[in-house]
Structure 1
């Protein structure tokens, strides 16, 4: 599962460097020597405050305080050299230098505390991400998968976008969705829908029936937990996919979600023609209102599923990110490498600031098993011996 790794490094605890300490120490020696050697009408002692201020950039409060003590000692050495150590100007300069050092140390303490808090928040966010949205497997039957998630809110690892995949006896089912809203406020609906999909993906023979089950789960949640004045404002767009092992196609049911993009091995881009139903949570009952669209999906093809944050991302001039065009540049790459390039290119387009959460899934068809291989697999797994129904209309086993 991807994330903004480049920016994450800035939130790590400040790293100490003994070599960098030579810089403020050398400044203290240089300024003190220059103050001693300079004419008496030129006073360089106040510049010693640069040393503790510089140390605070890469060290903690104790080291910064120690550098401040060295700076005060340098000021005292200069006053002792000129025989003015106990005069009012030198004493005032030493006190001022000590006070500024204390202020810098206090800022270091506040910064380090803030850094620890951010690290704790990030740790909790990562744990919540793994609990709610399990990483997609890199291989699922005849498919290679990869995913990336970019949260719009600073310091967040998860928000209102979601995805999940499940393996069935005859293929794989995948869902990608987008909760109305973004960030942490949308976690309730996201968690509900992920749990409902993982349970229902193995229990319903068709995508319309699966969509109907997810709608009923959303309706129960909204009725029990959402305020009445917000009931009509909470919904989820979702795209449900069924990819059979033995057919070069993908079946899709869109609940108000964006159509996927198909990348051919040669970089040809095809946008699926969908007939979307209303989003989940608006009260559509029964499975008859969920159309099923079919798209050719053969070996070597890559299917890209995404949320609207990917296509509505803007640069500083307001231009939208050309998602399909840019993704086609890396059509020949494996899914993980393809998404790596898209992620970097998207963040470069937006300057690292996203207006909405972004979730992208890349699915590549590797091959379609030969009929004899499928028969051998069925015998080895014991499916034929158990008398399990074969055929598209039979119930799907769990797990």
Structure 2
């Protein structure tokens, strides 16, 4: 195990052990043996054990022990018990500090390993979407509410199937590994059914059955499915998810809503019959933004929600990825700090290339 160099933000804590010992030495030399501060030399290795590695703590302990011996001789404290008590204090605290540093280092290594595994799992789960699919150009953005973990329950996928380009964006209730497990179930079912089901309603029913088998009845997933064919239309199925934003070629924006919202995946009531598909025009020059509620429910310091309709101009960038990155940065600026929920966005641009062909992925 090796010690790690402290970051710049921890320089004060890193220097504190030496500073404390220097202060004790100066006060002891100036004030004389009557001050009785010699045992406080042990604060050096104590502080080092909190912020440094075990090797550094041991070195600080050796320095503290030498300082204690020097000051004890200078003050004549070894002629009585006080000098030996101070030495015992330094040795004991140094031993405890080294043990604490070793334990902390092991826990930090374990945590780093868990985070690395979780990050790999997230990358496997949310693999990169294709740059183009049929007549569409795609870009995606994912911002985790827990930056250190880089893991959450938002999901997205783009599949170029024989039945058109099919898309899903969803949001799993909850966070952490349980949410990722649920997202894996939904995405696995979607990736398979997108190629096999001839219509979007059948695809949605397959997802509902898969989620119903896997979930325990307490978790659910809001999701929106979209299918873009060659007829300049997009068909939606909405499972309790925020309405998509459709940006026309002239810059105007609309939020197409279903006639009635359905329950999220995992909560379907037998009598509900599931969501009803609805069709909206989607032609070359148009853009479609699918997102999770982590975007629209982001609040600024005054409590105001993120005004997505007022930010349509941010999507004018000729590069889809650049436009989506501008929107993501604006969401973060609006929050003026860490987001309180994961925020996923998927931007589809109808550029018109590949119309009438099987939907290639590049």
Q: CA 1:142/1:285 → structure 2, altered by over 3 Å: closer, same or farther?
A: farther
Distance 1:135 1:122, change over 3 A: same
How big is the shift at 1:215?
Answer: 2.8
Deviations 1:40-81 (A, max 9, x none): 255664554454345446531122121111112112112223
- Which residue of structure 2 aligns with residue 107 of structure 1? 100
Of 276, 282, 295, the match for 1:290: 276
Q: Determine whether 1:119 maps to 2:104.
A: no
**Offset, 1:165:** 1.2
- TM normalised by structure 2 equals 0.78
Deviation (angstroms), 1:108: 1.8
Contact 2:246 / 2:289 at 8 angstroms: preserved in 1? Answer: yes
Partner residue in 2 for 1:321: 306
Q: What's 1:312 paired with?
A: 297
**Can you list the C-alpha shifts for 1:22-49, whole angstroms capped at 9, x where unaligned?**
9468648844763575242556645544
Matches within 5 A, 1:253-292: 253-263=237-247, 268-275=252-259, 276-281=261-266, 282-283=268-269, 290-292=276-278
Per-residue CA deviation, residues 214-271 of structure 1 (Å, 9 max, x unaligned), is 233334x15xx63xxx3xx444322111233x55543322222211123457764432
Q: Evaluate the alpha carbon distance shift between residue 43 and residue 202 of structure 1 in structure 2; reply closer, same or farther with a 3 A threshold.
A: same
The aligned runs of 1:182-197 (5 Å cut-off) are: 182-197=175-190
* 2:338 counterpart (342, 349, 352): 352
Unaligned stretches of 5+ residues in structure 2: none
- Select between 63-72 and 17-26 the one with higher mean Cα deviation: 17-26
Q: Counterpart in 1 of 2:315?
A: 331
User: Deviations along 1:86-118, whole A, 9 cap, x unmatched?
Assistant: 432222222223333333333322321221121
Q: Distance in 1 between matches of 2:361 and 2:269?
A: 28
Q: Are residues 213 and 317 of structure 1, via their aligned partners in 2, closer, same or farther at CA, if it must alter by over 3 Å?
A: same
CA contact (8 A) 1:306 1:360 kept: yes
Q: What corresponds to 1:16 in structure 2?
A: 5
User: Of 60, 68, 89, which residue of structure 1 is paired with 2:61?
Assistant: 68
TM-score, normalised to structure 1's length? 0.72
2:195 is paired with a residue whose SS is: coil
User: Matched residues in 1 for 2:154 and 2:56: separation?
Assistant: 44
**Residue in structure 2 matched with residue 361 of structure 1 by the alignment:** 346
Does residue 251 of the first structure (1) align with residue 235 of the second (2)? yes
- Out of 62, 65, 75, the residue aligned to residue 82 of structure 1 is 75
Rounded to whole Å, the distance in 1 between the matches of 2:253 and 2:148 is: 34
Distance 2:313 2:101 in 1: 46
Distance 2:71 2:360 in 1: 84
Report SS of the residue matched to 1:250.
strand
CA drift of 1:186 comes to 3.5
* C-alpha contact 1:28 1:70 (8 A) present in aligned 2: no
Q: Which residues in structure 2 correspond to 1:19-38 (within 5 Å)?
A: 23=15, 27=19, 30-31=22-23, 34=26, 37-38=29-30
Gaps of at least 5 residues in structure 1 are 1-12, 384-395
Task: Decide whether the 8 Å contact of 1:251 with 1:294 is kept in 2.
Answer: yes
Residue 149 of structure 1: which of 113, 121, 142 is its match? 142
Native 8 Å contact 1:176 1:306 kept in 2: yes
Report the aligned-residue RMSD.
Answer: 3.9
Structure 1 SS opposite 2:305 = coil
Supply the distance in 2 between the matched residues of 1:340 and 1:46 (Cα, whole angstroms): 57
The question of whether the paired residues in 2 share the 8 Å contact of 1:239 and 1:257 is answered with yes
Cα distance, 1:312 vs structure 2: 2.5
Give the number of aligned pairs.
353
